[in-house]
Amino acid sequence: MPLRLYDLCGADDLRFSPYCARAKMALALKGLAYETVPVPFTGIAAIAGGGHATVPVLEDGDRRVSDSFAIAEYLEDRHPEPPIFAPGPAGRAAARFVEGALFGIVHAAAMPIVGKTIHDRLQPADQPYFRETREAKLGRSLEAAHADRESRLPEARKLFFPLRHTLARSAWFGGDRPLYVDAVVYGTAHWLHAVNDADWFAGDPTLTDWFERCRAIVGAGAPA
């Protein structure tokens, strides 16, 4: 039985979730075949009979694993080759730092820019849930945040500094080959580009080239 990934979807089957994209790149880096099951936000509670609050959920026979980082660790344990974490506790800590920087800083700064666009690309049944939860975090309406997006974009782009700083010196965030840290950054980049046509990388060839290499990895591993 192939691995199955419950994968967030919007209208027109748009697959935009950064966390699901991370899981897909982790699967692709492991060379594992998988199929995806599209799930809207309002479908998450019904996955596999209930008990899951978020996607991605990876189903491996009778086992189900939630949370993108936990999925990557599960794959590393079950399929050690090729490794997707640098060795030992240092490798996990490095990946956690990158995860924290993207979630706590980049996603936080991007949400006002992309919130309304995501909302508009969701299935209608998902829109009230998304609006309510995201407006509570933003402290204002999606529309009010959207009105500022052009002025916020240059500040958000500055937050890619650690990405440029790293890729100026190595081909991958994993050093000389892609690791789960690359999947973490890829997931964020995928999310931003999937939901919003802003020129996020402002033509930076280092970021653009790295992103294309990640897309090729994920595309080669993706279900038909």
Residue 201 binds a copy of itself (CB under 8 A): no
Interaction of residue 139 with a copy of itself, rule CB under 8 A = no
| Chain centroid to CA 20 | 6
CB-CB contact of 82 with 27 (8 Å): no
Residue 152 interacts with a copy of itself (CB under 8 A)? Answer: no
Residue 90 sits in the site that holds a copy of itself (CB under 8 A): yes
- Tell me the closest approach of the beta carbon of residue 1 to a copy of itself, in angstroms: 32
Stretch that binds a copy of itself, among 41-49, 73-81, 140-148, 170-178 (CB under 8 A): 170-178
Residues 50-89 that bind a copy of itself (CB under 8 A): 86-89
Is 172 one of the binding residues for a copy of itself (CB under 8 A)? yes
The torsion angles phi and psi of 65, rounded to 5 degrees, stand at -125, 125
Q: Which residues contact 70 (CB under 8 A, 6 or more apart)?
A: none
Query: Helix or strand or coil: residue 31?
Result: coil
Part of the chain binding a copy of itself (CB under 8 A), chosen from 70-78, 133-141, 154-162, 207-215 = 154-162
Encoding tokens for residue 73?
């660790």
The strand ranges marked E within 155-209 are: none
User: With binding defined as CB under 8 A, does residue 209 bind a copy of itself?
Assistant: no
Q: How far is CA 10 from its chain centroid?
A: 15
Nearer CB in complex with a copy of itself: 174/187: 174
Contact 44, 156 (CB under 8 A): no
Residues lying near a copy of itself in the complex (CB under 8 A) = 86-94, 96-101, 103-105, 108, 158-159, 161-166, 169-170, 172-176, 179, 181
